[in-house]
Amino acid sequence: MNRATFAVMAVLLATSLFSARLDASEQRNVLLICSDDMRPQLGCYGDPTVKSPNIDRLAGRGMVFEQSYVQQALCSPSRISMLSGRYPATTQIFEIGRTLRATMPDITTVPQHFKNHGYHCRSFGKVYHVGIDDEASWSEPAWHSKKPRYGAIGQAAMEARRKEYAASGTVPPARGQGMVFYAGPAFEATDLGDDDLLDGDTAARGVEQLREYAKRPDQPFFLAVGFANPHVPWVAPKKYWDLYDRAALPLARNEFPPKDAPAFAATSGQDFRWYGNVPEGPLDEPFKRACLHGYLAAISYVDALVGRLLDTLEETGQARNTIVVFWTDHGYYMGEHNWWGAKHNNYEGATRNAMIIAIPGQKSAGQKTRALAQAVDIGPTLIELCGLPAADGLEGRSLKPVLDDPNTDVHDAAFSWYPKAGYLGVAMRTDRWRFVEWTKPGQPPVHELYDQHADPQNDVNLAGRAEHAELIRSLSAQLRARFPVKP
């Protein structure tokens, strides 16, 4: 090797080492913020009533996905699907109870993939599900606040029910109707401070962890922070209730089940009815308004906590290299179809969620996209954005092309699942249509079809109309080419 060649190689090697050090110092972190039961009722989604300045601020430096869908409208299956990057058809988890490892013991989850590539991964609050976590996903055990969900009123009601059980010698159920927790009201405005409640304590712990990471700038992190609100009970400090005029809140205009829909499909969960102050039978207007008031107050409470996390990123300088994802685990019904505090089905209101992705230096900052997106896309997207090797088995697609150009599409459909009455329903949402095919062994398929352009809230099922017969056959073939019915 002559001297000139050696000199050139030395320069190239030095440049390579410098680039490697630069890449390491600029390694992107991930802050994943999850909110429970928050439908896309936010200022950045065009809602004129809700007060969500901090989430809107995130949207201003990121991208709002206006047609984002979860893979099942139920907390645990939805979160397992998102964090595993697999459809429920693959995880085979359609209910709350089993962990992911019960069906896929050797799976590598999305956060686990980051952990395997040098990231420190933490979970605070409701990220998977309380009591249904995944130890292998995190660098340290998942953390859950011990502070109450309720204020004084709810805590007193719970204590009274405990005493009733103790006096009768009855053991309260650990899950379902009759459990001590449901003695509390469906909503409560409390004089407690933000950090005296579970979600505020979770935010405080997330802020503390971000400050710890700031002391170790060479350690990339994947931090997931999950809030319980606005899942019922809607409990928030009174100052968030004071943001709203209850009398001015708009009520749903479609308080009837989807017309011509299968009876078994046109239902939702009933756990809202288990709370201590919910009356039997139809709800009167004052109670409906109180529920809406509580729901919006809970959203604004979460919004303030999101703001604290974003402020901490800015204060510590970590905003420059941290991707922030705000994601909600499904939609929610607040009076539409006469369903309250519920999801548990395959309709648009249950499966459409809020999702915002903000990347440092994002060219498309502040824009919205109508591109179809799914929860299973989050993993592939973050892996590509952080420059990690692709992970095996992920079933979503990276949304980076959409983040680069909001007019780009990576999907022609989004998919959701729900089991009901022995049927398994698979919903396929295209740009225009919501098509649902329900299958049950020994029974012919049952279909639903909704025109999302003319009927965005799924008020009328068109599947039985003769003029749509060919469309039904075409959509069914498209769905089953993607997800064949198992014999």
| Residue-wise pLDDT tens digits, 74-129 | 999 999 999 999 999 999 999 999 999 999 999 999 999 999 999 999 999 999 99
Distance CA 35, CA 52 (A): 13
Predicted confidence band of residue 175 (pLDDT cuts 50, 70, 90):
confident
For the purposes of burial, counting CB atoms within 10 Å of the CB of 481, is it exposed (0-12), middle (13-18) or buried (19 or more)?
exposed
Q: What is the DSSP letter of 484?
A: P
Distance CA 291, CA 465 (A): 37
Domain covering 3-150+185-401, topology: Alkaline Phosphatase, subunit A (3.40.720)
Peptide bond into 148 cis (omega under 30): no
**pLDDT over threshold 80, residue 23:** no
- pLDDT for the residue 481: 96
Query: What's the pLDDT tens digit per position in 310-320?
Result: 999 999 999 99
Distance CA 306, CA 194 (A): 12
Helix (H, G, I), strand (E, B) or coil at 263: coil
Predicted confidence band of residue 2 (pLDDT cuts 50, 70, 90):
very low
**pLDDT over threshold 70, residue 358:** yes
Helix (H, G, I), strand (E, B) or coil at 112: helix
Active-site residue 129, yes or no? yes
The single residue of 129, 144, 231, 330 carrying the catalytic annotation is 129
Average pLDDT (394-402) is 98
- pLDDT for the residue 485: 80
Nearest to 233 by CA among 267, 272, 202: 272
Q: What is the DSSP letter of 443?
A: E
- pLDDT for the residue 8: 34
Q: Where are the domains of the chain?
A: 3-150+185-401
Distance CA 164, CA 468 (A): 57
Contacts for 178 with CB less than 8 Å, ≥ 6 apart: 172, 274
Helix (H, G, I), strand (E, B) or coil at 293: helix
**pLDDT over threshold 90, residue 18:** no
The single residue of 75, 121, 337, 344 carrying the catalytic annotation is 75
- pLDDT for the residue 379: 98
> Helix 285-316 crosses helix 53-60 at what angle (to 10 degrees)?
50
Write down the mean pLDDT value for the chain. Answer: 94
Cα 395–400–406 angle (5° rounding)? Answer: 115
| The residue type at 192 | L
Predicted confidence band of residue 6 (pLDDT cuts 50, 70, 90):
very low
Structure tokens that stand for 434 in this block = 């919501």
Contacts for 460 with CB less than 8 Å, ≥ 6 apart: 258, 259, 260, 450
Nearest to 113 by CA among 380, 397, 396: 380
**pLDDT cut 90: percent of the chain above it:** 92
Q: For residues 199 and 131, which has the higher predicted lDDT (pLDDT)?
A: 199
Nearest to 331 by CA among 225, 226, 231, 224: 231
Query: What's the pLDDT tens digit per position in 230-251?
Result: 999 999 999 999 999 999 999 9
**pLDDT over threshold 90, residue 286:** yes
Query: What's the pLDDT tens digit per position in 52-73?
Result: 999 999 999 999 999 999 999 9
Q: Where are the alpha helices (DSSP H) in 269-329?
A: 285-316
- pLDDT for the residue 487: 59
Burial per residue of 326-362, b for 16 or more beta-carbon CB atoms within 10 angstroms, e otherwise? bbbbbbbbbbbbebbbbbbbbbbbbbbbbbbbbbbeb
Q: Phi/psi at 59 (nearest 5 deg)?
A: -60, -30
- pLDDT for the residue 278: 97
Average pLDDT (370-388) is 98
Distance CA 310, CA 218 (A): 20
Cα 448–453–456 angle (5° rounding)? Answer: 65
* Under 8 Å between Cβ of 155 and 181: no
Nearest to 229 by CA among 149, 154, 173, 159: 149
Average pLDDT (10-37) is 62
Cα distances from 463 to residues 349, 421, 445, in angstroms, run 19, 20, 12
Structure tokens that stand for 23 in this block = 């890449």
Average pLDDT (367-377) is 98
Distance CA 147, CA 66 (A): 34
**pLDDT cut 70: percent of the chain above it:** 95
**pLDDT over threshold 90, residue 4:** no
Average pLDDT (145-157) is 98
Contacts for 450 with CB less than 8 Å, ≥ 6 apart: 258, 347, 348, 433, 434, 458, 460, 461, 462
Contacts for 235 with CB less than 8 Å, ≥ 6 apart: 149, 150, 151, 154, 187, 188, 190, 197, 229, 294, 298
Q: What is the DSSP string of 360-418?
A: TT-TTTTEEEEEEEEGGGHHHHHHHHTTPPPPTT--S---HHHHH-TT--S-S-EEEEE
- Give the largest Cα separation in the chain, rounded: 94
* Under 8 Å between Cβ of 134 and 101: yes
Tokens 């799914």 locate to 374
Active-site residue 34, yes or no? no
Helix (H, G, I), strand (E, B) or coil at 183: helix
